[in-house]
Structures are given as C-alpha cells and as structure tokens.
Structure 1
Amino acid sequence: MAAELRRLRDQADLTQQEVVDATSINKATLYRIETAKAKPQKRTLMTLLALYNAEPEQRDYLISLLKDSTVQGWLRPYHSELPEEYTAFISFESDAAGARNYESLFVPGLLQTEDYARAVIRGVLPAATDSEVEDRVQARMERQDVLTKTKPIKFWAVVDEASLRRGVGGPGVMSDQLAHLTKCAKAPNITLQVIPFGAGAHPGMPGQFILLDFADPMDTDLIYIDSMAGDLFLESAADVRRYRSIFDNLVAVALSPNDSASLIADIPKRS
C-alpha cells in the first residue's frame, strides 16, 4: 500500500507538501503512511485516492488491502526505537518474493550470526547504548525469518572478498560467521557469490544496496540503500533498471557459487 500510494502521488506530480495543503492531512501522518510505518484510516485513503485521480481498479485494490490488513508480525514494541526508514524496510522485506543484495564491507544482514551482528552494530554505532545495540541485533535476527518461512524469500547475495576478510568481532566470531555462510549457501533459496580481490575494480565499489521484488505485479520493485547520509528508497523505473544492470554486472564479475563456497572455506586455513 505504501509503495502504491507513493507511486500514485508521483504519477499525479504532487509533492508531499502539496498533498498536505490540498487535504489537510498531517505531513507526519502522510510520511508514516508512505513509509509503511502506519496504515491509513479509510477516510484518509479515500481522500488520497480522490486527489490522485486513481483508476477504479487501483482504488478497489487499495481498499481491499486496507480491509484485509493486519498488524505485521515483524512489528515488535521495541521497534519504535528503530529509525522509521529501517522499520519500513523490514516491512517491505517481509513481503518481498526476492531480494538481491550486494555488500562491499559487511556480511549481508540476512546471513549474519548474532555475535557478528552485535560486533558490527557496536562498531558502526559507537555512541549507541547497550539497549539500543540489543534492539538492533534482535531486529536483525528476526529479519532472517524470511529465509525459512513457508514461502521463503529467494535471496541472492554478492559480496566483496573484503567483507569476509575483515576481522569483525575477532577470530572466533569470524570463524563462526564463515561457517554459517557455508551452511546458508547450501539452502535452495539462497545464492551466494564472492567477488575476489583479483577481480580489480568493479561496479559495486561505491557501496551496498538491496533490490527487492514482489510477487504481486501491482507492487513496484524497490531499492534500499543504507549509507552514512541516511537510508534511501528508490523505486522509479529508471533506478530499478540501473541497479538491476549493476547487480547483473556484479554477478558476472563474481566467482560462481561453487567457487565462492571454496573461497569461503579456505579463508580460515590462511588466517
């Protein structure tokens, strides 16, 4: 619903402020609706659909979504302490049919062990309290349920070799993390490839991204980027094409899944 309402607003060539001015809907409320932080009341939804001149098919689809919606299983009380953009991403990820994730410096979140996740979060957020660190660790572990649910997400990860060589948390943590990656890579819904140092420069060097796709054709593909400048969602057709092309190039540069598994297994022997 969030993705479709954003798409309809863009199609109507309206900014969030113009919607607020035309409808008197609170700007914070509109933001929370568009980031899947809150679901709209029916009268709010009907007001937005009228303003956006939604087609009858779109109108019926979104009204049925609102009628059938329930509180997301991923939403826990402590999630209110997490950044809104991150909780929105968790929501989108839980509904996605597939995810393509490139990481240059980290093991993908869906494949992290708890100890590795804790070490990463402490390192990246040195000012975070113990409670804040544990909230984020718990949220990351819960995210991994998408890999083992009844209809698991199809997860394709490409990582730079640097993400496997960096000693996050110390030798013991990394040894367990590499063993976990080896186990995860055997799952039928997970593909894991490594770009070796020998590949030289490649299109993923500017940074990580996740591309989500959905089973419902009404749901647009979504790109999520987590950076020091903040979390960013992209969903325009041009952006989706560009990131699909980048991911395809990364797959071509990376080792095959079998050769990647061999490289991962060999790292502890050479450490």
Structure 2
Amino acid sequence: MTGQAGRAQRRVRNLHDEAVPIAQRLVLGTHLRARRKELKIPMKQAGRHIGVSEPTMSRTETGQLGFKLRDVERLLDLYDVLGESRLAYLDLLDHANRTPWWQDWKDVAGKHLQAFVSFEEMAQRLRAYDPSYITGLLQTEEYAHAVIEQGLPDATAREVERLTELRVVRHQRFDAAKVKQLICVVDELTLVRPYGSTAVMRRQLDHLITLMDDPRYTLRIAELTKPNIPTNVGMTVIFDFEEQVLPAIVYAEHFDGAFILQDEEQVDGRIKAFDRLQAASLSHSRAAQRLRDLRKKL
C-alpha cells in the first residue's frame, strides 16, 4: 500500500445535498486513489474495469459510497497490489464496511452530523472554534439539550432527547480514547450568553473549570472586549489524523448546512486562521482564571 494518501482534489463538499463522506470509507478510497494515480491509470479506466461510471468511481474514492469486496479485489488486480500490501487494503475494506456505532441514531442524525461523527471518531486531535455556543465535546448534557432544543425549534421532544443522547455518547467515547486531544478556542460570548438557565450555565462553567486540569484538553478564550480578535474564521473544526491515515480535514458549518474542505491549500488557510485566533486568545492558564471569574459572577 502506498505510504502517502496523495493530495486531495480541489473541492468543497456541501453536506446538505450529497451522499455522506464517511471517514472509514475515505481512508480506503484515498489510498486506492493514490495507487491509481501513482500508476497513472485514468479514473474512467478504473471505473470501467469494475463496471461503474466515472462519477460513481469518484464518489467511491472520496468516501461517499461504499466498496464491494469483488470491486476492491479487481482494482487491486489492476493496480498490481500483492502480498501483505493487498491484505492491508482488504483490512481497510473490512473497517470501511463495518456498521458504525452511530447508526443507532441514524433516525435523527442528518448527513452532516454523521460525517462529523465519523471524522471525530477517527481523528487523533481536534482543533475547534465556535462563535455561537460552547463546542460540542465540552458541553454538559443539560447544556447540550438546551442548545439542540433552541437550534431545532421544529424537532419533537423525542428527537431532541435522541440527539442529546448521541452527544453524550460522543463525549464518553472521546473520554475513553486516552490518546485523543482537543484544542479549543472558546468565544467569551458563549460563556456569558446562557443556554437553558443560569443554573445550567453555572454547572457548564464548573465542567469547563474541571476540564482545565485534564492534559488532553487545551482551552483558550477569545476575549469579548479585546479589539481586533480574528474570529472571522467562523465555526471551524480541524481533524488531525495519525500519520499516513488521512491528511488534515476541515469541517465548517453555516446557518443552513455544512461543508468539508480537503484541498491542501484551503485546509492550510483554515489552519493558519485558527492559529492566528489561538495566538490572540487568552492562554490556557489565563483562560482558567477567566472561567473562575465568570463563575463567581453567576
């Protein structure tokens, strides 16, 4: 199997209107694409070899559609992949075709949320900023419930409960994965704008103060009154994966949808914007003190 996944094609995936790119499928597709390009085999030729159109081949390589065992074996024959390398590809196929744990929430989790959870599950490090509310992995259950309820006014009580349950399970899985790390810039506005009630916000701040002592969490605060804080990056989550698995991927949301960036230049631009915001924000130790001060006011 090739060591490098290869540079992603220039694209922005709008997750509102297309098949969901699942991280586990994307890993296999990315490596197969890298091997195909290494051999200079056109996508159309590869698709014809397994009996699919070029657009279908493209969606498969980019994690939007699943691979069948027969098709992968025929591609490996075409790409002259043998021995241990072939077994490695077939192992990736096995992981890609497993039913993910979040499928239990498929009835309430939309396409963009399923994609997000798949990348969150696989990433080794997440870098996050959200100007609207406290980042999901930092939320208490009752704060999450209030955010989801407010953000989905047409949802039923059951749907809100189910989505809250999914968020809690995501927290639990992140905590259980001891090697994962979260670097978060918290907008101070989200710390003073309450969700749920004042009591809910008190407990949310207590939770954040507790997390400040956990080395897996690095929190910075973008001060509300500091001039020229570069928050124009908007809601951004950067997923960093283990070396050779996937290049960094950016997830961003807007009012009525979400999109994923994979192009190297676009991802690099987001990372630099996030780094500028992080550098302009309160340090971890000063952020801890600001949280304690805000907690006293409540």
The TM-score bracket by the shorter chain reads 0.7 to 0.9
- Letter of the aligned partner of 1:184 in structure 2? L
The question of 1:259 aligning with 2:286 is answered: yes
The question of 1:3 aligning with 2:3 is answered: no
Q: Which has the higher contact order (CA 8 A, sep 6+)?
A: 2
Normalising by structure 1, what TM-score?
A: 0.83
Q: Tell me which moved more, 239-248 or 57-66.
A: 57-66
Measure, in 2, the Cα distance between the counterparts of 1:144 and 1:228. Answer: 24
Summarize the Cα distance change of 1:105–1:238 in structure 2 as closer, same or farther, 3 Å threshold: same
Tell me what 1:42 maps to. 69
Q: Secondary structure at the match of 1:198?
A: coil
Measure, in 2, the Cα distance between the counterparts of 1:229 and 1:139. Answer: 21
Summarize the Cα distance change of 1:14–1:82 in structure 2 as closer, same or farther, 3 Å threshold: farther
Alpha-carbon deviation of 1:73? 5.7
Asked if the contact 1:74–1:91 (Cα under 8 Å) also holds between the matched residues in 2, the reply is no
Q: Secondary structure at the match of 2:218?
A: strand
Asked if the contact 1:101–1:211 (Cα under 8 Å) also holds between the matched residues in 2, the reply is yes
Tell me what 1:185 maps to. 212
Tell me what 1:103 maps to. 130
Normalising by structure 2, what TM-score?
A: 0.76
- For structure 2, the 5+ residue unaligned runs are 1-23
Asked if the contact 2:43–2:54 (Cα under 8 Å) also holds between the matched residues in 1, the reply is no
Residues 158-173 of structure 1 mapped to structure 2, 5 A cutoff = 158-173=185-200
Q: Secondary structure at the match of 2:232?
A: coil
Asked if the contact 2:25–2:96 (Cα under 8 Å) also holds between the matched residues in 1, the reply is no
Residues 97-136 of structure 1 mapped to structure 2, 5 A cutoff = 97-136=124-163
Asked if the contact 1:100–1:155 (Cα under 8 Å) also holds between the matched residues in 2, the reply is yes
Summarize the Cα distance change of 1:35–1:26 in structure 2 as closer, same or farther, 3 Å threshold: same
Alpha-carbon deviation of 1:132? 1.2
Between Structure 1 and Structure 2, how many residues are aligned? 268
Measure, in 1, the Cα distance between the counterparts of 2:131 and 2:138. Answer: 14
Asked if the contact 1:110–1:143 (Cα under 8 Å) also holds between the matched residues in 2, the reply is yes
Q: Secondary structure at the match of 2:259?
A: strand
The question of 1:151 aligning with 2:178 is answered: yes
The question of 1:24 aligning with 2:47 is answered: no
Measure, in 2, the Cα distance between the counterparts of 1:13 and 1:227. Answer: 37
Measure, in 2, the Cα distance between the counterparts of 1:30 and 1:75. Answer: 25
Q: Secondary structure at the match of 2:252?
A: strand
Tell me what 1:90 maps to. 117
Alpha-carbon deviation of 1:59? 6.6
Asked if the contact 1:199–1:253 (Cα under 8 Å) also holds between the matched residues in 2, the reply is no
Tell me what 2:169 maps to. 142
Asked if the contact 2:248–2:267 (Cα under 8 Å) also holds between the matched residues in 1, the reply is yes
RMSD in angstroms over aligned alpha carbons? 3.4
- Letter of the aligned partner of 1:208 in structure 2? M
Aligned identity (percent) is 27
Measure, in 1, the Cα distance between the counterparts of 2:134 and 2:41. Answer: 39
Tell me what 2:14 maps to. none
Tell me what 2:223 maps to. 196
The question of 1:208 aligning with 2:235 is answered: yes
Tell me what 2:265 maps to. 238
